[in-house]
């Protein structure tokens, strides 16, 4: 099967189905280092990237932002001195779509 990181996000409609727990369970091993977190009753895909410097944190933040603009799908990014936390979820459907796993895989590749 094609790697997640080379796949392209489809337009996410408000009536697109959330991933089922079974689908999530089968996708999560494909995005190493990412975990499912729950905030405000929303499932999100979260990873903390530890960096060696603030310059690296900032470069990575900009790289993820570029991916986000290209896909027109935007994560939450927490920029700190020696870490960058990235969270992907689909606002329109209030949870996880396959797009989020594609973006998580692309994010990891750009680190």
Shortest distance (Å) from residue 72 CB to a second copy? 9
> Residue 50 CB: number of other CB atoms within 10 A?
10
CB of 60 to a second copy, least distance (A): 12
- Residue 84 vs residues 5, 73, 74, 107: alpha-carbon distances, Å: 19, 18, 15, 11
Residues that bind a second copy (CB under 8 A): 54-55, 58, 61-62, 65, 68-69, 74, 76-81
Decide whether 25 or 62 has the Cβ nearer to a second copy. 62
Looking at beta carbons only, is 38 or 65 nearer to a second copy? 65
């Amino acid at each position: 099967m094609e790697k997640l990181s080379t796949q392209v996000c489809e337009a996410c409609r408000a009536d697109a189905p959330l991933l089922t727990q079974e689908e999530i369970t089968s996708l999560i091993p494909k995005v190493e280092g990412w975990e499912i977190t729950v905030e405000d009753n929303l499932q999100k895909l979260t990873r903390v990237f530890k960096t060696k410097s603030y310059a690296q944190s900032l470069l990575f933040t900009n790289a993820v932002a570029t991916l986000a603009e290209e896909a027109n799908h935007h994560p939450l990014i927490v920029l700190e001195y020696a870490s960058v936390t990235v969270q992907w979820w689909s606002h329109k459907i209030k949870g996880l779509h396959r797009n989020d796993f594609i973006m998580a895989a692309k994010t990891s590749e750009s680190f």
